[in-house]
Amino acid sequence: GAVVSQHPSWVICKSGTSVKIECRSLDFQATTMFWYRQFPKQSLMLMATSNEGSKATYEQGVEKDKFLINHASLTLSTLTVTSAHPEDSSFYICSALTRGGNYGYTFGSGTRLTVV
Amino acid sequence: GQQVMQIPQYQHVQEGEDFTTYCNSSTTLSNIQWYKQRPGGHPVFLIQLVKSGEVKKQKRLTFQFGEAKKNSSLHITATQTTDVGTYFCAGRLRSQGNLIFGKGTKLSVKP
């Protein structure tokens, strides 16, 4: 089946530094990828929609200059958390829509970011 | 903004008991999807419902989409410890629109 590879799985960084998270679709082309944030014991919150070859679409309240998204190819989308602060600590997950009979979304394994 | 409400937030059952989680939307949905997230894991797609009144089954799991396409339910018969996790519904207003996730129902099963 369709696989979305996300890494790193976890990262600890210092306040003020930047962290890049990568998501790759391994066996299919993903023209659109979605980036979510999940706080402990809470639901998935859509941050932005990443479109190959064009600018990402950000949800209301998400700072585009802080959460930089790049979708340079049909198989790779990246999220860079710039000048990270402790409140950015969270679980970040990407997903891509997989074509086929079920039209479900395939999620990456997620990245747990801790900013100290 | 548009919300998909999901209840209950938590459910603790004895192994063998049934379990149901419900989702409600204030507006008509184009379709609804269900996901399962194991502890420490990522959401895994279970199923999509599109038609009004649709009922689909996957072994012990039964999924329903309401006649008005505003509500949905997931029912698990005779729960097992492997059913543990958080079940999310996610609705779409338009056929290709973004998914709006419910807050999930965390299921724990006591052996």
Whether the bond into A8 is cis, omega within 30 of 0: yes
Higher pLDDT, A3 or B70: B70
Q: What is the C-alpha R_g of chain B?
A: 13
Give B41's pLDDT tier (boundaries 50, 70, 90).
confident
Higher pLDDT, A105 or A25: A25
- pLDDT of A43 > 70? The answer is yes
- pLDDT of B61 > 60? The answer is yes
Q: Report the residue of chain B nearest A42, measured CA to CA.
A: B103
Q: What's the confidence (pLDDT) of residue A3?
A: 87
Q: For the residues B3-30, what does the mean pLDDT come to?
A: 95
CA nearest to B74, candidates B62, B85, B84: B62
Q: What's the confidence (pLDDT) of residue A99?
A: 60
- pLDDT of B77 > 60? The answer is yes
Contacts for B71-75: CB closer than 8 Å, 24+ residues apart = B71/B22, B71/B23, B71/B24, B71/B25, B72/B22, B72/B23, B72/B32, B72/B34, B73/B20, B73/B21, B73/B22, B73/B23, B74/B20, B74/B21, B74/B34, B74/B46, B75/B18, B75/B19, B75/B20
Q: For the residues A60-89, what does the mean pLDDT come to?
A: 93
- pLDDT of A107 > 70? The answer is yes
Q: Report the residue of chain A nearest B10, measured CA to CA.
A: A41
> In chain A, positions 23-52, which contact chain B (CB-CB < 8 Å)?
34, 41-46, 49
> In chain B, positions 27-86, which contact chain A (CB-CB < 8 Å)?
33, 41-48
- pLDDT of A72 > 60? The answer is yes
Highest mean pLDDT among A43-57, A99-113, B9-23: B9-23
- pLDDT of B1 > 70? The answer is no
E-only strand ranges, A32-81: 32-38, 44-51, 57-58, 67-73, 76-81
Yes or no: say if B104 and B6 are a contact pair by the CB < 8 Å rule: yes
Q: What's the confidence (pLDDT) of residue A101?
A: 41
Q: What's the confidence (pLDDT) of residue A103?
A: 59
* Contact partners, residue B11, CB within 8 Å, separation at least 6: B19, B21, B105, B106, B107, B108
Mean pLDDT, chain B, whole residue set? 93
**B98 at interface of A, judged by CB pairs closer than 8 A:** yes
**A76 at interface of B, judged by CB pairs closer than 8 A:** no
Q: What's the confidence (pLDDT) of residue B2?
A: 63
Higher pLDDT, A8 or B97: A8
**B88 at interface of A, judged by CB pairs closer than 8 A:** yes
Give B95's pLDDT tier (boundaries 50, 70, 90).
low
A93:B33 CB<8 A: no
CA–CA gap between residue B51 and residue B32 (Å, rounded): 10
Q: For the residues A36-65, what does the mean pLDDT come to?
A: 88
- pLDDT of A100 > 60? The answer is no
Yes or no: say if A46 and A34 are a contact pair by the CB < 8 Å rule: yes
